[in-house]
Amino acid sequence: MPTDNELPPPASRIPSPAVIGVCAVVVLLIFSLLATAILQAREAARRTHSRNNLKQIGLALHNYHDTHNVFPPGGVFNEDGVAFHDWTTFLRPYLDASPWYNTVDLDIPWDDPKAVDWFRAHHYPFESFRNPSLPSPIRADGLVRNHYAASQSIFYRNSSMATKDVRPNTSARLMVADSLDNFLPVGCPYGWRDARRGLGEYSDGFGCRVREVTQCLMADGSVKVMSAGSDDRVFQEMAGPVDLQPDPERVKRITEYPLLDMRNIWKYEVYFVDAESRKMSYRVRRISPDGKTVLSR
């Protein structure tokens, strides 16, 4: 006769496959809900971050206006059409980047061999122009993509628009918004787009490819959330009256900026040994983006 130690355990103590399956489903459901909640919370934080970026840009634009009585030009071009600098460069003193701004030579184009290095990621403070919901804005050549674009009804070639030019309905007039795609580098003087084309429809238009809505900085400094399904009249109002639109020649722009040849912007160090003191020193050299000039740094 088997002893108590040899008796099989009561059937009630052994979980049935059905119970195990139910427990697994519950655990997976809880995990799925938690993971979804975490992802939603992170995206909400990124969206808030982007909204704050736009608010800071709006404040900087109005501070610039208070100083100069106009908003910064969309892009500065000389009589021959050579592109120099864009609206983001002129905002830097109002976005806590005065030291950087003071080093930039505004008399030469932003992508000149003598200047382009200052617009690459290791020098340029780019967080104000980054949508954190999108992948890293740093390109393979070190230039930084601008995830936002300005409205071409206010910012264009050599523009000099003032608040009086966008009144009275400043709360409906677009200044800056998310770019859908075809991001130009920060500093490239073609950083404007046409609000009349709507949202989320054109790669070189406004919109956000990771969200169903677009965050828009309006001329009164507020940030609105707009959907692609808004009425066309809304987009027309965002762009302003038809009779006040800039000449087509002044809003011509490039939609892509080619990658710089990385071989031509690599840096290297040259070491020297003083014959008398035997001390070693070095200098940093950089080949210009056009491959024609050796620059000291």
Question: How many structural domains does the chain have?
Answer: 2
The pLDDT tens digits for 104-136 are 899 999 998 888 888 887 666 788 999 999 998
The pLDDT tens digits for 3-51 are 555 555 555 555 667 667 677 777 777 766 656 656 556 777 888 999 9
Question: Residue holding tokens 């787009």?
Answer: 193
Contact in structure between 237 and 172 (CB atoms under 8 Å): yes
| Dist CA 195 CA 201 (whole Å) | 11
Q: Which of 290, 192, 282 is nearest to 239 (CA)?
A: 192
Q: Which of 238, 255, 121, 83 is nearest to 176 (CA)?
A: 238
Tell me whether residue 104 is in a domain: yes
Mean pLDDT within 247-274: 73
Share of the chain above pLDDT 70, in %: 75
The pLDDT confidence band at residue 220, using thresholds 50, 70 and 90, is: very high
Q: Is residue 191 domain-shared with residue 272, that is, in the same domain?
A: no
The range of the structural domain enclosing residue 246 comes to 52-251
Q: Is residue 98 domain-shared with residue 186, that is, in the same domain?
A: yes
Structure tokens that stand for 101 in this block:
């701004």
Q: Is residue 209 domain-shared with residue 278, that is, in the same domain?
A: no
Query: Largest Cα–Cα distance in the chain?
Result: 110
> What pLDDT does residue 8 have?
57
Q: State which amino acid sits at residue 60.
A: A
> What pLDDT does residue 113 have?
82
Q: Is residue 175 domain-shared with residue 289, that is, in the same domain?
A: no
Q: Which of 180, 189, 182, 193 is nearest to 152 (CA)?
A: 193
Report how far apart the first and last C-alpha atoms of the chain are (Å, whole number): 94
| Dist CA 172 CA 195 (whole Å) | 12
Contact in structure between 53 and 133 (CB atoms under 8 Å): no
**pTM strictly above 0.75:** yes
Q: Is residue 85 domain-shared with residue 202, that is, in the same domain?
A: yes
Contact in structure between 114 and 295 (CB atoms under 8 Å): yes
Contact in structure between 158 and 250 (CB atoms under 8 Å): yes
The pLDDT tens digits for 57-92 are 999 999 999 999 999 999 999 999 999 999 999 999
Structure tokens that stand for 230 in this block:
């808004």
Q: Is residue 111 domain-shared with residue 240, that is, in the same domain?
A: yes
